[in-house]
Structure 1
Amino acid sequence: MKEQSMSLRRSVLYMPASNERALAKSPSLACDSIIFDFEDAVGPDEKAAARERLLAFLSGAGRPQRELVIRINALDSEWGRDDLAAACACRPDAILIPKVEGVETLREVDRALAELNAPADLKLWAMMETPRSILNAGTIADYARDPSSRLDCLVVGPNDLARATCMVPGPDRANLLPLLLQVVLCARAGGITALDGVSNNFRDLEAFASECRQGRELGFDGKTLIHPAQIDGANRIFGPTDEEVAEAEAIVAEFAEPENSTRGVISMGGKMVERLHLEMARSLLEKARLIRERTQ
């Protein structure tokens, strides 16, 4: 099984590759990752120009210094192969594949990347946005355990899911929760990241914050965004609080005491704390460290 390192993906902003003003602004944004979009956000007549514009931008001095992802059109679409070649030329950290319904889609992209001599460290992200995506989420996520696989992240597409299932999501997304939990569960089984889907009303930041809190409680690592106004809220809610950091530091310190160094369970503040809590504390502190480095 491949070794998985922690990735900071609290806030992941979609950005149309065709929008020159948005591209110019991207280096100044505080999001953890950017998804430059060749797919839904770019009209059919703009696809070729979007590829050229993004390549020119990312080849210049203003290339954003953060995780960069490019969402292509489906490989079997009329734009997919050209998108993939252009994406590789842009040297992103990952390529996001839309409407992944099974492992064969990812294998086909892996084969195409091999033909393009793509770097070995180029990752794949998979959009989970159809009923079949959810039904096959387990086998899709398990593909990440294959040493030859590039799969690194599952991304929920709630709008497409709602449309395909004929659901009408309420303000609390109650009817979508089983689908969202399935993605988180399978991502954890595969040892990869899971990102919650977008919140459409970017002006209602209170509702957005509520959705972020729900996403964190469900176990998502972060949230995909459609507007820069959503970045601060996602960063805050998907990052550890000061209280959580202090508690994690206390757990690590307590287990470091000589009398506790070999114990499986200790008592802290009237609570039983196990070594699994120590592992969780160390993970939280590593995330806090990455956040500090990002903001310095």
Structure 2
Amino acid sequence: MPAANERALEKAKAIAADALIFDLEDAVAPDAKESARDKAVAAVTGGGYGRRELTIRINGMDTEWHADDLAAAAQAGPDGIVVPKVGSADEVRALVAAIEKAGAPEHTQLWAMVETPQAMLDVAAIASASERLGVLVMGTNDLAKELHAEHVPGRQPLLTGLGLCLLGARAAGKVILDGVYNDVKNADGFAAEARQGRELGFDGKTLIHPSQVEPCNEAFAPSEQEVADAEEIVTVWNETLSSGKGVATVNGRMIENLHVENAQRVLDMSKAIAALQVDD
């Protein structure tokens, strides 16, 4: 959400998103940076957003606004401070030190945007550089620009980078979010890319328009059939263990512990989504 736009910030209180990014970077003109910073801080400290995670995306480390953005965001104490173009483990450590020096509460995490070729090559080190780094965010627009690549259906030019970042995030045990989809009027294209992001293994997707929220939630949430299948796998597995049998099968397919872990993750996600819907 562009933090300079008070109407957008107010509207965000009713959007069914899991997290909100109050943007001070690309969505804000240079002459509005300072007022946007004040509005983002007021939004975080003023409340009214319910269970949604609140984050502030500050301007990059190479800009004149970065230091003041970081200090103000840290003192506001959002759930996360989103920093663009994080390219190394040293930068992560420097950012964390600055966030802590500015007095950020313990719950405020660093969300690092990875969007350059160098970040793709160093993502494992970036992801594991600090416990305070909680989330990686794919910056697919900037990555495509740096690669001289085109935005095409299926994202073939970006798949290497997406895969490397997924590997790094999973190795470090961090959440990773897929990048944005630019054409807000292309509902079918968005649905296909959101589905691809889930199939690749991303935990969610960053969005640029409220119209993308519902189809994104649908893409990343388990279907009724997936929940039913997961329940059957867990039930059969537990019955097999209780009976002392060595092999469990569901619909003629042998299942192992890894299948049960995947099934349990589906059930946990379904329960979490149900709880959020009650809160809304």
Short-chain TM bin: over 0.9
2:79 equivalent in structure 1: 93
Q: 2:126 aligns with which of 132, 140, 154?
A: 140
Q: 2:184 aligned with 1:202, yes or no?
A: yes
Q: Distance in 1 between matches of 2:11 and 2:38?
A: 18
Preserved contact between residue 141 and residue 190 of structure 1 (Cα < 8 Å): yes
Preserved contact between residue 143 and residue 190 of structure 1 (Cα < 8 Å): no
Q: Greater CA deviation, 48-57 or 267-276?
A: 48-57
Preserved contact between residue 27 and residue 65 of structure 1 (Cα < 8 Å): no
2:94 equivalent in structure 1: 108
Q: 2:125 aligned with 1:125, yes or no?
A: no
CA gap of 1:101–1:255, structure 2 versus 1, over 3 A, is same
1:26 equivalent in structure 2: 12
Preserved contact between residue 264 and residue 274 of structure 1 (Cα < 8 Å): no
1:8 equivalent in structure 2: none
Q: Distance in 1 between matches of 2:59 and 2:50?
A: 23
Q: Greater CA deviation, 236-245 or 116-125?
A: 116-125
Q: 2:32 aligned with 1:58, yes or no?
A: no
AA partner of residue 290 (structure 1): A
Residue-pair matches, total:
278
Compute the displacement of 1:90 (Å): 2.5
1:187 aligned counterpart, secondary structure: helix
Compute the displacement of 1:85 (Å): 1.5
AA partner of residue 32 (structure 1): D
Q: Distance in 2 between matches of 1:180 and 1:40?
A: 22
Q: Distance in 1 between matches of 2:251 and 2:58?
A: 51
AA partner of residue 183 (structure 1): C
Unaligned runs of 5+ residues in structure 2 are none
AA partner of residue 276 (structure 1): L
1:222 equivalent in structure 2: 204
1:3 equivalent in structure 2: none
Q: Distance in 2 between matches of 1:258 and 1:170?
A: 47
2:46 aligned counterpart, secondary structure: coil
Q: Distance in 2 between matches of 1:58 and 1:153?
A: 19
AA partner of residue 81 (structure 1): A
Unaligned runs of 5+ residues in structure 1 are 1-14
AA partner of residue 289 (structure 1): K
1:125 aligned counterpart, secondary structure: strand
Cα RMSD over matched residues? 1.6
1:16 aligned counterpart, secondary structure: coil
Runs of 4+ that moved beyond 4 A: 258-265
Q: Give deviations 1:17-48, integer Å, cap 9, x for gaps.
A: 11111001011000111111111111111111
AA partner of residue 105 (structure 1): E
Q: Distance in 2 between matches of 1:206 and 1:175?
A: 20
AA partner of residue 196 (structure 1): D
Please give the TM-score of this superposition, normalised by the length of structure 2. 0.95
Q: Distance in 1 between matches of 2:24 and 2:36?
A: 7
